[in-house]
């Protein structure tokens, strides 16, 4: 029996039912595997291994393309979906590989943005009990955002600088080191870009390091301090696990909280 559009849309976004979890866990695994392939390709590996990685990445690309088409087909408002944040990220994940068939190298830089697709999976329901509070979800999202920013910049600077500056940007790890040093404004100066686009990316890294990262880290510290001042009082209605010590009602749904027993 063919699935209707509503069911397909539901399972592609569902993170609670076994089928929905299986589908989305598979997608998340493929995203990580694809990102790992990109990193592995920056190292000196055998031709046979490289061909196998490219074949695997091509299979993953086909799955991503089919997933995108299914999401578009099943979306109730297709125009709204096409211009949504996640749709743009999904399209950026598959477009570079197809455009790469006609060797437009610049747009292939976008392939590093595949890692951003994992943002939709940083969710309490998807993490299957490993995070027990909304603050924990926010904490995980901040950590992942910081990692994703560094990862994407590392991939971009490698893609730009490696062809012209292989001594300093020989592997992804070299680019990752440069990104961390640049974005934390340490600036050792032992690795420097020589291309104009590489220098432009470096400026963007510095601006990101000065603006976005301190804000994210500051928010992270606030969450840690807030969590440290809370105790576990599980709401019997919505399940929110942590509240202030003197809280009598759930801050999410207003249900009266159980009395905390003091040993």
Give me the pLDDT at residue 51, please: 92
- End-to-end, the C-alpha distance of the chain in Å comes to 58
Task: Say whether both 158 and 209 belong to one domain.
Answer: yes
Task: Say whether both 238 and 191 belong to one domain.
Answer: no
Give me the pLDDT at residue 200, please: 92
> Which positions ≥6 away from 192 have C-beta within 8 Å?
168
In the predicted model, residues of the chain with pLDDT beneath 50 are 1-2, 101-106, 124, 128-130, 262-263
Q: How many domains does the chain have?
A: 3
Instruction: Note the residue count of the chain.
Output: 263
Task: Say whether both 104 and 138 belong to one domain.
Answer: no
Give me the pLDDT at residue 128, please: 45
Q: What is the pTM of this model?
A: 0.69
| CATH code, domain carrying 94 | 1.20.120.350
Give me the pLDDT at residue 2, please: 44
CA distance 217 to 240: 24
| CATH code, domain carrying 206 | 1.10.287.70
Q: Give 176-224 pLDDT, tens digit per residue.
A: 999 999 888 787 778 889 999 899 999 998 888 887 777 767 766 766 6
Are 193 and 207 in contact, with CB atoms under 8 Å apart? Answer: no
Give me the pLDDT at residue 146, please: 82
Distinct helix (H) and strand (E) counts, the chain: 8, 2
Q: DSSP 3-state assignment of 99? A: helix
Give me the pLDDT at residue 158, please: 92
CA distance 77 to 74: 9
Task: Say whether both 154 and 239 belong to one domain.
Answer: no
CA distances to 29, 33, 52, 170 from 89, rounded to whole Å, are 17, 17, 26, 28
Give me the pLDDT at residue 169, please: 93
Give me the pLDDT at residue 9, please: 83
Torsion of CA 17, 19, 20, 24, to 10 degrees: 140
The parent domain of residue 48 ranges over 1-124
């Amino acid at each position: 029996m063919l699935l209707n559009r509503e069911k397909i849309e539901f399972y592609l976004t569902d993170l609670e039912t076994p089928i929905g979890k299986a589908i989305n866990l598979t997608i998340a695994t493929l995203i990580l595997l694809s990102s790992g392939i990109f990193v592995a390709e920056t190292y000196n590996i055998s031709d046979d291994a490289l061909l196998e990685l490219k074949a695997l990445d091509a299979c993953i690309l086909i799955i991503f393309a089919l997933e995108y088409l299914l999401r578009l087909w099943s979306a109730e408002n297709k125009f709204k979906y096409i211009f949504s944040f996640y749709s743009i990220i999904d399209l950026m994940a598959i477009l570079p590989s197809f455009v790469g068939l006609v060797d437009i190298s610049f747009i292939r830089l976008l392939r590093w943005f595949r890692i951003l697709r994992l943002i939709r999976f940083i969710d309490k329901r998807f993490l299957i009990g490993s995070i027990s509070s909304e603050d924990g979800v926010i904490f995980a999202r901040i950590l992942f955002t910081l990692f994703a920013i560094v990862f994407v910049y590392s991939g971009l600077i490698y893609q730009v600088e490696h062809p012209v500056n292989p001594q300093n940007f020989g592997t992804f790890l070299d680019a990752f080191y440069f990104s961390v040093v640049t974005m934390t404004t340490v600036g050792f100066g032992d690795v420097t870009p020589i291309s104009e686009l590489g220098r432009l990316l470096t400026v963007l890294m510095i601006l990101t390091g000065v603006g976005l990262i301190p804000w994210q880290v500051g928010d992270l510290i606030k969450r840690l301090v807030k969590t440290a001042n809370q105790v576990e009082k599980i709401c019997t209605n919505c399940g929110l696990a942590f509240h202030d010590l003197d809280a009598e009602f759930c801050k999410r749904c207003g249900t009266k909280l159980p009395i905390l027993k003091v040993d």
